Amino acid sequence: MTHSVLTALGLTELESGTYLGGGEWSTTGGAGLVESVSPTDGQVLARVNATTQAEYETIVERAQAAFKVWRQTPAPRRGEAIRLCADALRTHKDALGSLVALEMGKSKPEGDGEVQEMIDIGEFAVGLSRQLYGLTMHSERPGHRMYEQWHPIGLVGIISAFNFPVAVWAWNSFVAAVCGDISIWKPSPKTPLSAIASMKICNEALKAGGFPDIFFLFNDAGNELAQRFVDDKRVPLISFTGSTKVGRHVGECVARRMGRSLLELGGNNAIIVDPSADLNLAIPAIVFGAVGTAGQRCTTTRRLFVHESIYDEVLGKLKTAYKQVEGKIGDPTDAANLMGPLNSQDAVKGYLDAIARAKAQGGTIETGGEAIDRPGNFVLPAIVTGLTNDAEVVQTETFAPILYVMKYSTLEEAIELQNAVPQGLSSSIFTTNLKNAEQFLTAWGSDCGIANVNIGTSGAEIGGAFGGEKETGGGRESGSDAWKAYMRRQTNTINYSDSMPLAQGIKFDL
Ligand code: UN1
Residue pLDDT, tens place only, 171-185: 999 999 999 999 999
Q: pLDDT tens for residues 101-137?
A: 999 999 999 999 999 999 999 999 999 999 999 999 9
Note whether 99 and 151 are within 8 A (CB). no
Residue 17's pLDDT is 98
Residue 227 has pLDDT above 90, yes or no: yes
Rg of the chain in Å (alpha carbons): 24
Task: Read off φ and ψ for residue 375, nearest 5 degrees.
Answer: -60, 155
Quote the pTM value.
Answer: 0.98
Answer whether 296 contacts ligand 1 (Cβ < 6 A): no
Backbone torsions φ then ψ of 494, nearest 5 degrees: -120, 125
Dist. CA 183–CA 175, nearest whole Å = 10
Q: What is the pLDDT of residue 142?
A: 97
**Upper half-sphere CA count for residue 333 (Cβ side, 13 Å):** 17
Measured from the Cβ of residue 286, the count of other Cβ atoms closer than 10 Å reads 27
Domain 2-265+473-490, CATH class in plain words: alpha beta
Q: Does residue 298 line the site of ligand 1, with CB under 6 A?
A: yes
Out of 264, 366, 397, 477, the active site residue is 264
Q: Does the CB atom of residue 162 touch ligand 1 within 6 A?
A: no
109 to 116, 162, 343, 384: CA distances (angstroms): 10, 17, 17, 27
Q: Is 300 a pocket residue for ligand 1 (Cβ < 6 Å)?
A: no
145 Cβ contact partners less than 8 Å away, ≥ 6 residues apart: 136, 139, 493, 494, 496
pLDDT confidence of residue 1: 77
* Residue to probe by mutation, ligand 1, list 159, 243, 466, 477, most atoms within 8 Å of CB: 466
* Digit-coded pLDDT (tens) for 159-168: 999 999 999 9
pLDDT at 204 over 80: yes
CATH of 269-463, one of 3.30.1320.10, 3.40.309.10, 3.20.20.70, 3.40.1740.10: 3.40.309.10
Provide CATH 3.40.309.10 ranges for the chain. Answer: 269-463
Q: How many CA atoms lie within 13 A of 122 on its CB side?
A: 22
pLDDT tier at 246 (50, 70, 90 boundaries)?
very high
Query: What CA–CA distance (Å, rounded) separates 452 from 495?
Result: 48
User: Is the beta carbon of 458 within 6 A of some atom in ligand 1?
Assistant: yes
CA of 92 to the centre of ligand 1 (A): 21
CA–centroid distance, 55 to ligand 1, in Å, is 31
Distance CA 11, CA 340 (A): 23
| Adjacent-strand bridge partners of 453 | 429
Q: Are 172 and 30 in contact (CB under 8 A)?
A: no
Per-residue pLDDT tens digits for 3-12: 999 999 999 9
Per the prediction, the chain carries an average pLDDT of: 97
Segments of the chain assigned to CATH 3.40.605.10: 2-265+473-490
Kindly give the residue spans of alpha helices, DSSP state H, lying in 71-191: 75-91, 93-104, 108-128, 167-179
Q: What is the ipTM of this complex?
A: 0.96
- 264 given a catalytic annotation: yes
